[in-house]
Chain A
Amino acid sequence: MAVAARSIHGTRRLKLQVFRTVVFVAAAVFFLVPIGAMVEFSTRGNSGQRTLEYWKEILAYPDMVQAIVASLELAAITSVVMLVLLVPTMVWVRLKLPRLSRIVEFVCLLPLTIPAIVLVVGLFPMYIWLGTNVSDSILTLALAYVVLVLPYCYRALDAGLGGIDVKTLSEAARSLGANWLDVMWRIIVPNISNAILNATLLSVALVLGEYTIANNLLYNNLQVELVHLGRANAGVSIAVAVASLLFAFVLLVVLAFIGARPRRMHRDPVAMLASPAVSSQK
């Protein structure tokens, strides 16, 4: 029996490896070839020679730093507000108000059904009021961005919450004397850390890549400045696009490495009890 089990395991492992290789190679081709085309184009001079002049133009653009800083700040604010707003709400709905889950789900899908060009029309009155009474700063865009990231982050968090038994975990913790803050922060959050990370990555990527709303509200964020810069000539327009992708990618990799680190020892016995995933998947 043991021999048979081991050989099943063996062929399955081989099939899995083949599957993974095929999938990764296909994905690499599909996703990297277009980017390669862009890199090739952005380094092609007018007479067909290789040149870095378009890339150098990016560095020489004066308003770029300001735009990058603004976009990074927006990304940070948006992610934090989104997490603070969504995670407790979603946990609460799962525990106490399950009938509301469809409504929350629909509300979180709504921003995606309205194209940004129209949504900005509805946002104008709000932004005029904000501009005259509160602040004219570009950071007010974060308020709109939180709404934009809702669909994606809800989905990622929902998938993560679906994988753990929120009800049992929270009841166990509560019966052991934890208050709601403890339950959220020390039980639930560590168990959905991957989902939270994914939601954050989605949110940061969206904010860094957002163009329409910032542009129509006449704010100059990173993407708007890149479009400005790209108007200089064809090579620059593609060089800035690739640069923007690389920038976002590096940032997300950094976030992914920072964010996925805390999986060490849980000193808290309740938390240890509550995280079955930790022990098996190493």
Chain B
Amino acid sequence: MKLGSLTRHLGVAALAWLLVAACGGSSGGGSASCSASAVKTATSASACGGLDALTAAAKAEGKLNVIALPRDWANYGAILDAFAAKYGITITSDNPDGSSQNEVDAVKQLSTTSRAPDVLDVGMAVALANTNLFAPYKVATWGDILDTQKESTGLWFQDYGGFMSIGYDSAKVPTITSIDDLKGAAFKGKVALNGNPKQANAALNGVMMASIANGGSLDDISKGVSFFKDLKKAGTFVPVQATTATVKNGTTPVVFDWDYLSAAHGKDVPTWKVFVPSSAILGGYYAQAINKNAPHPAAARLWEEYLYSDEGQNLWLKGLARPVRQAAMEKSGKIDKTAAAALPPVNGTPKFMSDAQATKAKDYLVANWDAAIA
């Protein structure tokens, strides 16, 4: 860790600030401090003595356990580094390839150990099904998040999202202007999904997007399944798992994936482009949650505060994900304009699957996907 003197200076500065704040006894909740027992049930920073008290408590804990946060996912690498450097907290990042389900499983199964994850970044289906594992918490910028994008008491709150896209290497295949282009001979043996739709959020949304673009709707994923069935029969769709390596190597030059994940391929393949069909703008957001039994409750809450601060949100934006406070930050002017300009253009109203629609889609896929693709 390259912390050293910078951390020490920050630490001294923070301590000085705290002393001044305590002595001065000024703004918001000056008397209550963030004790170890209080922070476990604190539902906001103010309930725990203010952000500075929370910061101090988090630094005292000194550690944070995160799970399933690959460094190349929505710029998490930079976020993890920035947080660790800013607060001097050592982050242990486990199971980078884990799915949202793996995250809640780890919370459940390692509940009493010090290695349990403190915070979670999960898909909506998993978030809604596991609220009994989360601690309610409202970040300082709670008001900037739309009501439809958060749970009212703060059990979960959406963090970033994107739109389902078709990423492609423009040097290997012709420019894509519509999803029907994929039926052409130039795409034979080149199209892949990111994951299996019965398991991965990105893949399920990929099939749903194909469905909408082919006359289906949020309630009907069957058109998407038949689209991929036809592609498979024509030899266009390959069942291999698309990875950064297969993309760079040219085996999967066309991949259905979230636009922010797809854009990350640009660093390996300079000619990579991202296409979001205007007839099927399907969006999806992920959600943050704090483990009710987090081994480091103060650090967990500080992490959430950081993610929802302008700095954190802009870092996600740099990863080409759309942060949940984007609209509010554009209004306040705090948004990183260069990063925002780099987002793939989207012209039209985005659609979002409701929980019921997602379940219906899942049921249809479980019953029909394997047979269609085989």
Asked if chains A and B are in direct contact (CB within 8 A), the reply is yes
Q: Verify B115–A233 contact, CB threshold 8 A.
A: no
Residues in chain A near residue B93, CB distance under 8 A: 228
Is B112 a contact of A128 with CB atoms below 8 Å? yes
Which residues does chain B contribute within 8 Å of A124, judged by CB atoms? 109-110
Complex interface: chain B residues within 8 A of A235 (CB): 248, 268
**Which single member of B113, B249, B268, B269 contacts A132 (CB below 8 Å)?**
B113
Question: In the complex, which residues of chain B have a beta carbon less than 8 angstroms from the beta carbon of A231?
Answer: 70-73, 77, 96
Bound Cα distance from A220 to B109, whole angstroms:
17
Partner of B243, one of A136, A232, A237: A237
- Is A55's CB within 8 Å of the partner chain B? no
- Interface positions, chain B 240-296, Cβ under 8 Å from A, are 243-245, 247-249, 267-270
Docked complex Cα distance between A234 and B247 (Å): 8
Q: How far, in angstroms, from A46 to B272 measured CA to CA in the complex?
A: 12
Q: Tell yes or no: B1 within 8 A of A by CB.
A: yes
Question: For the complex, is A215 an interface residue (Cβ under 8 Å from B)?
Answer: yes
User: How many chain B residues have a CB neighbour from A under 8 Å?
Assistant: 35
In the complex, A132→B114 CA distance in Å?
A: 9
B61 close to chain A: CB less than 8 A: no
* Contact, CB under 8 Å: B96 / A128: no
Contacts of B214 in A (CB 8 A): none
Interface of B is mostly: loop
Question: Which of the residues B1, B102, B115, B270 comes within 8 Å of A136, measured between beta carbons?
Answer: B115
Residues of A within 8 A of B (CB-CB), count = 24
Decide: A218 and B94 in contact? CB cutoff 8 A.
yes
* Residues of chain B with a CB closer than 8 A to A238's CB: 245
Query: Interface centre among B92, B115, B244, by most A CB within 10 Å?
Result: B244
Q: Give the residues from 42 to 67 in chain A that come closer than 8 angstroms, CB to CB, to chain B.
A: 46-47, 62
Which residues of chain A have C-beta atoms less than 8 A from B268's C-beta?
A: 46, 233-235
- B74 on the A face (CB < 8 A): no
Known contacts A46-B270, A216-B95: does B109 contact A128 (CB below 8 Å)? Answer: yes
**Complex interface: chain B residues within 8 A of A98 (CB):** none
Q: Which residue of B lies closest to A44 (CB)?
A: B248
Contact B96 A132 (CB under 8 A): no
Q: Once the chains bind, are B72 and A233 in contact (CB under 8 Å)?
A: yes
User: Is residue B218 contacting chain A, with contact meaning CB distance below 8 A?
Assistant: no
Task: Determine whether the beta carbon of A41 is less than 8 Å from that of B249.
Answer: yes
B110–A218 CB distance below 8 A: yes
CB nearest to B72 among chain A residues: A231
Interface string of A227-249 (1 = CB under 8 A from B): 11001111101100000000000
Residues 59-86 of B at the A interface (beta carbon under 8 Å): 65, 67, 70-73, 77
- Cβ contacts under 8 Å, B147 to chain A: none
A128-B112, A231-B71, A232-B72 in contact; A41/B245 too (CB < 8 A)?
Answer: yes
- The residues of B that contact A233 with a CB separation of less than 8 Å are 72, 244, 267-268
Residues of chain B within 8 A of A228, CB atoms compared: 70-71, 93, 96
How far, in whole Å, are A17 and B245 apart by their CA atoms in the complex?
A: 41
Contacts of A227 in B (CB 8 A): 96-97
Interface residues of B (CB under 8 A from A): 1, 65, 67, 70-73, 77, 92-98, 102, 106, 109-115, 117, 243-245, 247-249, 267-270
Q: List 5 A-B contacts (CB under 8 A).
A: A46-B269, A131-B110, A231-B71, A233-B244, A234-B248
Give chain A's interface residues, CB within 8 Å of chain B. 41, 46-47, 62, 124, 128, 131-132, 136, 215-216, 218-220, 224, 227-228, 231-235, 237-238
- In the A-B complex, the 4 residue pairs with the smallest Cβ-Cβ separation, listed nearest first, are A234-B244, A234-B248, A131-B113, A218-B94
